[in-house]
Amino acid sequence: MSPQKSTTVRLFERPTPARPHIDRRQEALRAVFARLDATAPAASARLAAYLWFRLARPPEPARRRRRMPVGGWPLELDVPGVGRIRGLEFGPDEGPVALLVHGWAGWREQLSAYIEPLTAQGFRVIGYDAPSHGESGAGRHGRRSSTVLEMAEVLAAVAGAVGPVRLVIAHSLGAMALAWEAARSDLRIGAAVLIAPAASVSPVLDTFQMMCGFGPATRRRLTVLLERRFGRSLAEFDVPAMAAEWAADDPVPMLAVHDCDDAELPASGAEAIAAAWPGAELMLTEGLGHRRILWDPAVVRRVAEFAGQVAAQPA
């Protein structure tokens, strides 16, 4: 299906996104960090670590579901040591499975634009909420807290319960969770779509630092606290390296999609991932940012076309 050389498609007809409004709560938080960073960087780092693993409250269920297709069947799975995971499935029971994987502080409905195009091609589409996200129960770290490692663990558990999995569409940190699990376990999928993927911890930390307004002293201490919590060096969360390891063992078709105006994660991450994956396709857009890219008609069409090519290949 895929040529050996990666290909890039650029869609640069989008308007420039509006300048974000100033959040007063964020400004207050920045003021707190400005004081702590100068006088008590250890306390500043502890506060930053708490906030790093703290999930924002999701919108009300009615708002989350406003774009969801009608129908769907509830899916519930108890993951040992983690908790109850809740999702929905659409499409024929015997169809090839497509998993929708949201990112950090996201929810399954964010990828609902792909449900109807995929079910129309015969896929059994399953979206679920990660631990402490959406409608799933609290994970091992408590309500409104999780880690990318826990997200990866649950992805593997869901895939094992509903598989074999023909296609995974993963957004943001969900793409890192997928790459982590695929490179380090026996998880096998037929193809992957990575939308606005987090390629490493560094750009996520850059964005977090900019939002909080702390300086180098706090960042150095925060890095130590994060590595202690993960039990791993942050350098290990290198998705291009994971992708190369994954592709070497299981070179499935892969499409990476990223917006050049993404203010949260740079498109260079998706470019590096695609470069590390033989035969990968890279689609670049402008003006969509980190989340609107999920709903863009051109992106949805390209992902649907890619899924159709996957479905046409022998399992």
List pLDDT tens digits, range 9-58.
Answer: 665 544 444 444 457 888 899 999 999 999 999 999 999 999 999 998 88
Instruction: Give per-10-residue mean pLDDT for the chain (315 aa).
Output: 56 46 78 93 96 90 86 94 96 96 96 97 97 95 93 97 95 97 91 98 93 94 96 96 89 96 95 94 97 97 96 81
Q: Which run of H or of E encompasses 167?
A: strand 165-171
Domains and CATH numbers, the chain: 7-13+24-312 (3.40.50.1820)
Contacts of 124 (CB under 8 A, 6+ apart): 89, 90, 91, 92, 93, 94, 95, 96, 97, 98, 162
Report d(CA 226, CA 149) in Å as an integer. Answer: 12
Residue type, 185: S
| Amino acid 9: pLDDT | 64
| Amino acid 20: pLDDT | 46
